[in-house]
Amino acid sequence: MRTLLLFLLLSLPVYYLASGEEVTPAPEIAFPKMDHQVEIIRLQGSKPGQTLLLVGGIHGDELASCLAVERYTRLQLKRGQMIIIPRLNQRAILAGQRGLNGVDMNRLFDLPEEKLPQPEGEVINLIKKLVKEASCVVNTHQGSGFYSPTWINRQRNPARWGQCNVIDAPFFDLPNGEQLRLEEFANRVVRKANLKIKQSQYHFQVNNTNTASEHSRHKEQRKSLTYYALTQTHRMALGVEVTKDCSLTEAVSFMTIAINAVMEELGIVPTAAPLTGAEAVRKELTEQNRLNGLTVLVNGKKKTIPVGGSIFLQPGETLTLVKLETPFPLGWSVQTRENKERVFPDENFAPARDTTLQVRKDSQRYLFPVRVRKSTVTGLEVALSQKVRTYYPQETIILPARQSFKIVRVLGETDGPVTVDIKGFVGNQRHNDGRDSGYEVTAEKLRPRFALDAEKTLYRIEVRKDNLLLDELFLKVVR
């Protein structure tokens, strides 16, 4: 059996719940700095109780699964334990596909080790070990239409998967003579969930696939995670399916309601459960996928590049990714846009020509151009509130709302005319030539649609020669 790579324990920044409560989860990274790395978050309650293994993203095209499960990484528990994996199949998630190269990760659990495809096989072995630590396993999905035990129409019938809790059998006999009564458990969960859903068309139902039966319509489920957890490790196992026939916000809300109901049934008690209202979910998802910038080292010098900015290197200089500036650092990946080469933190990267770093999380993408330039521009001389000072490339000029500044001159051996263009500002009102040196700049003269941030306070300053971007600085309005 291939040895799993040792888990690397990382510390994350402080998180904030909607309630204002702060938590500091410490994830374990399995297969670090590999394309199929898996982030695992463990939550320990102050009182003992059952352990829930909560899995998201086993299928890469079911985005609500990843987004909903990540919300639980920020909980604090009063009772019980949780093992949370928001993105089990990271490669497929980034590709937006169910699985890569036709490999469905949820159809591999019946295979012997020697027949497992790689790298999916390493992930399967990992999750099998984690199943043994749990009392209950919940695998989250998005399915088409709406499950109904009887035919209603093309969207509501036994062949559909949306809005149901999937079990493999009504009960399972354990070797010690006890039973896992899955149907009773799933029915109680469904009743709890449906009390929180006002629209009856989105109520959950229990979908018993009778997986082991000769007459089962779903024999392929014998290869699934839940069937493995039930039959091989004798754990309570449930698939939570929300419909794809609703908005992403609604899907995450429904999945959150279902997971909350599972936790309540297991007696796992958080200090505050994730909120389920549409506006609260939408706000949290926006924050969860927000990136403010990258902190990098350029030849050992630290720089923070905001979203919308570029990274400048002299030929031969190295670039090192230090960290992503985000309050929610789970699930991100960085790669070159051109050849899809992964860029991991603390590894040197020395591009010979211009490239672009693509920073991704689920369906969210941010682009950071990397520009390799032989430039002798060393900075800008700026007059701010009648005081002249020098700002260096990638630095930020702070402009109080009621003050003004102007670019005095470009510093360095420029070998010809160099222009300074403050994006969102027009110096020459008769002819916008992008030459903004010497003009008085105030916050009122800036056009908010050119701002780099949602607050409309951050602007880019481009230094160009013969229309070639040599370097850039930033302007920050403080109100």
Structural domains in the chain, CATH included, are 8-288 (3.40.630.10), 293-372 (no CATH), 377-478 (2.60.40)
Q: What's the confidence (pLDDT) of residue 25? A: 66
**Residues forming beta bridges with residue 325, ordered by sequence position:** 293
Give the span between the Cα atoms of 149 and 167, in whole angstroms: 13
The answer to whether residue 20 scores a pLDDT higher than 70 is no
The answer to whether residue 240 scores a pLDDT higher than 90 is yes
**Structure token pair of residue 59:** 């299928």
Helices (H), 318-444: none
Can you list the positions of beta strands (E) in 315-384? 319-325, 333-336, 348-349, 355-361, 364-372, 377-384
**Would the CA dihedral through 76, 80, 81, 86 be positive or negative?**
negative
Residue 222 sits at φ, ψ, to 5 deg, of: -65, -15
Segment 23-69, tens digit of pLDDT: 546 789 999 999 999 999 999 999 999 999 999 999 999 999 999 99
Kind of pairing between the strands at 164-167 and 236-243: antiparallel
Q: What's the confidence (pLDDT) of residue 340? A: 79
Give the span between the Cα atoms of 368 and 479, in whole angstroms: 27
Q: What's the confidence (pLDDT) of residue 375? A: 80
The answer to whether residue 303 scores a pLDDT higher than 60 is yes
Quick one: average pLDDT of 144-153? Answer: 96
The answer to whether residue 390 scores a pLDDT higher than 50 is yes
Closest among 107, 258, 238, 250 to 185, alpha carbons compared: 238
Query: What is the 8-class DSSP label of residue 342?
Result: B
- Cβ atoms of 440 and 427 within 8 Å: the answer is no
Give the span between the Cα atoms of 129 and 4, in whole angstroms: 10
Q: What's the confidence (pLDDT) of residue 21? A: 45
- Cβ atoms of 236 and 185 within 8 Å: the answer is yes
- 14 vs 202 pLDDT, higher one: 202
pLDDT band at residue 11 under the 50/70/90 scheme: very low
The answer to whether residue 70 scores a pLDDT higher than 70 is yes
pLDDT mean across residues, the chain: 91
pLDDT band at residue 432 under the 50/70/90 scheme: confident
Closest among 288, 345, 289 to 15, alpha carbons compared: 288
Q: Does the N-terminal peptide bond of residue 119 adopt cis geometry, omega within 30 degrees of 0?
A: yes
pLDDT band at residue 4 under the 50/70/90 scheme: very low
pLDDT band at residue 18 under the 50/70/90 scheme: very low
The answer to whether residue 6 scores a pLDDT higher than 90 is no
DSSP one-letter string for 295-306 = EEEETTEEEEEE
**Torsion angle in degrees (nearest 10) through CA of 308, 314, 317, 320:** -10
Quick one: average pLDDT of 423-435? Answer: 89
Q: At residue 384, what is the residue type?
A: L
Q: If you count them, how many residues does the chain have?
A: 479
The answer to whether residue 9 scores a pLDDT higher than 90 is no
Give the span between the Cα atoms of 91 and 69, in whole angstroms: 17
Closest among 405, 396, 377 to 464, alpha carbons compared: 377
Q: At residue 98, what is the residue type?
A: R
Q: What's the confidence (pLDDT) of residue 10? A: 33
- Cβ atoms of 144 and 98 within 8 Å: the answer is no
Q: What's the confidence (pLDDT) of residue 385? A: 80
The answer to whether residue 13 scores a pLDDT higher than 60 is no
Segment 91-110, tens digit of pLDDT: 999 999 999 999 999 999 99
**Would the CA dihedral through 327, 331, 333, 337 be positive or negative?**
negative
**Residues forming beta bridges with residue 419, ordered by sequence position:** 464
Q: What's the confidence (pLDDT) of residue 414? A: 64
Longest dimension (CA), the chain: 88
Residue 107 burial by Cβ neighbours in a 10 Å radius (0-12, 13-18, 19+): middle
**How far from the centroid of its chain's Cα atoms is residue 104's Cα?**
21
